[in-house]
Amino acid sequence: MTSHAAPVLAIRDLSKSFPVGRWSFVGGRRTLRAVDGVSFDIAAGETLGLVGESGCGKSTLARCVARLLEPSSGSVTFAGDDITHRSMREMRPLRRLFQMVFQDPMASLNPRKRVGAILRDALRIQSMTKSRQDERDRIARLLEQVGLSAAHTDRFTHELSGGQRQRVGIARALALEPRLIVADEPVSALDVSVQAQILNLLKDLQETLGLSMLFISHDLGVIRHVSDRVGVMYLGKLVELAPAEAFYDGPLHPYSRALLAAVPTPDADAETHQARTIEGDIPSPLDPPSGCRFHTRCPMAAEICGRVEPILKDYGGNRLAACHFATAVSAGNEADNARPHISRE
């Protein structure tokens, strides 16, 4: 579900750098550019899925969006309000409007508090209730919303399963009636069967409450289940951004295509299809390659790729890619789709 109104979130040329190692008189300190010039919007009621290998900058970007980290440059605009360099005091009244769901609920929930107290703290910090009874009613509704019962109110988090803990994390995020949820690998620590339950819950909540969501994962199968659009990051750069259906039908960047090729396909032709891995190691983010950062692993790389950095270009249909040979990648997708498959019938 997407909207043509002003975006809930607008990221422009966002970068985040970290000094690394000890300072020296000879060379100073090295800099790790974890996020490098990323731009995108998220509309009301839309889910943008952000994918990439570990170390590509996804989680750092998420923390900049939620202002848990301050960007080094660029801007973060939420509901038309530039929050890039707001102080912690200025951010406090805005915090309830965008909430995070973390990868490890055991680490993000206070183990010394019962579930009811965890939700009560969230409500009280932002003065979301008017009385104790209102507070109790609100906690009961939140637990029901995420598929838990009132019996879970008095339990400690270590008494819950991984899926139940993540439901409590989601309930805590919903307690403040946010407009945007930033979900950072929210199902990667869960069993596959539980993952599906949490993904369905997030999707249902988004549709019911009209939430916008930035959903971060390294798993394209998970991203496909929840996303309206897909963004792909590589070494701090956004290399592709496209509507989900168009992306999965045929990505425009060789890295995106390689990620899709690496996903196992449990179909009738499984005996003839083998998931492929991306060749080569990810270069160090402290010393990224010149030109296109993927060219050291790209099967289509040419001389220009190591010399000129491609810009994120619009190829129509809201499809953007940063590749000198995006049209050739598209042609390769069409050839693959046209290739006959061997039926087992």
Separation of alpha carbons 104 and 269, rounded Å: 36
Per the structure, the complete domain to which residue 130 belongs is given by 105-177
pLDDT at 25: 57
Whether residue 316 is contained in a domain is answered as yes
Whether residue 1 is contained in a domain is answered as no
pLDDT band at 278 (very low <50, low <70, confident <90, very high): confident
Separation of alpha carbons 12 and 42, rounded Å: 12
Work out the number of other CB atoms within 10 angstroms of the CB of residue 89.
Answer: 7
| 115-116-120 Cα angle (round to 5) | 120
Q: 150 and 124 in one domain?
A: yes
Separation of alpha carbons 298 and 310, rounded Å: 14
Q: Which of 130, 162, 177 represents a domain boundary (last residue)? A: 177
Q: 171 and 297 in one domain?
A: no
Separation of alpha carbons 171 and 189, rounded Å: 18
Whether residue 123 is contained in a domain is answered as yes
Q: 287 and 213 in one domain?
A: yes
Whether residue 343 is contained in a domain is answered as no
Q: What CATH number does residue 309 fall under?
A: 3.40.50.300
pLDDT at 329: 75
For residue 292, pLDDT over 90 is answered with yes
For residue 177, pLDDT over 50 is answered with yes
Task: Round the average pLDDT of the chain to a whole number and report it.
Answer: 87
Sheet hosting strand 81-82, strand order edge to edge: 28-42, 9-24, 73-78, 81-82
pLDDT band at 70 (very low <50, low <70, confident <90, very high): very high
Burial of 42 (0-12, 13-18, 19+ CB in 10 A): buried
For the stretch 82-140, pLDDT in tens is 999 988 888 888 888 989 998 888 888 899 999 999 999 988 888 888 888 898 999 99
Q: Which of 129, 151, 177 represents a domain boundary (last residue)? A: 177
Whether residue 4 is contained in a domain is answered as no
Q: Which of 144, 177, 210 represents a domain boundary (last residue)? A: 177
Q: 155 and 292 in one domain?
A: no
pLDDT at 4: 53
User: What is the percent of the chain with per-residue pLDDT over 90, rounded to a whole number?
Assistant: 63
pLDDT at 124: 86
pLDDT at 230: 97
pLDDT at 279: 77
Whether residue 276 is contained in a domain is answered as yes
For the stretch 33-63, pLDDT in tens is 999 999 999 999 999 999 998 889 999 999 9
pLDDT at 116: 94
Q: 202 and 304 in one domain?
A: yes
pLDDT band at 216 (very low <50, low <70, confident <90, very high): very high
Whether residue 323 is contained in a domain is answered as yes
Q: 66 and 125 in one domain?
A: no
For residue 198, pLDDT over 80 is answered with yes
Burial of 259 (0-12, 13-18, 19+ CB in 10 A): buried
Q: 95 and 129 in one domain?
A: no
Q: 157 and 291 in one domain?
A: no
For residue 163, pLDDT over 50 is answered with yes
Q: If we measure between CA atoms, which residue out of 213, 200, 134 comes closest to residue 167?
A: 200
pLDDT at 142: 94
pLDDT band at 273 (very low <50, low <70, confident <90, very high): very low
**Average pLDDT over every residue of 224-244:** 96
Q: 190 and 234 in one domain?
A: yes
pLDDT at 268: 45
For the stretch 11-31, pLDDT in tens is 999 999 998 876 655 556 788
The alpha carbon torsion through 182, 192, 235, 297 (nearest 10 deg) reads: -160
How many angstroms separate the most distant Cα atoms in the chain? 71
Number of domains in the chain: 2
Burial of 345 (0-12, 13-18, 19+ CB in 10 A): exposed
Separation of alpha carbons 329 and 336, rounded Å: 11
Q: What tokens were used for 123? A: 């409500």
Q: 119 and 69 in one domain?
A: no
Q: 154 and 263 in one domain?
A: no
Burial of 22 (0-12, 13-18, 19+ CB in 10 A): exposed
pLDDT at 54: 87
Three-class secondary structure assignment of the chain: CCCCCCCCEEEEEEEEEEEEEEEECCCEEEEEEEEEEEEEEECCCCEEEEECCCCCCHHHHHHHHCCCCCCCEEEEEECCEECCCCCHHHHHHHHCCEEEECCCHHHHCCCCCEHHHHHHHHHHHCCCCCCHHHHHHHHHHHHHHCCCCHHHHHCEHHHCCHHHHHHHHHHHHHCCCCCEEEEECCCCCCCHHHHHHHHHHHHHHHHHHCCEEEEEECCHHHHHHHCCEEEEEECCEEEEEEEHHHHHHCCCCHHHHHHHHCCCCCCCCCCCCCCCCCCCCCCCCCCCCCCCCCCCCCCCCCHHHHHCCCCCEECCCCCEECCCCHHHHHHHHHHHHHCCCCCCC
pLDDT band at 342 (very low <50, low <70, confident <90, very high): very low
Place of tokens 């970068």: 15
Q: 306 and 194 in one domain?
A: yes
The answer to which of 102-111, 152-161, 271-280, 285-294 has the lowest mean pLDDT is 271-280
Whether residue 2 is contained in a domain is answered as no
pLDDT band at 267 (very low <50, low <70, confident <90, very high): low
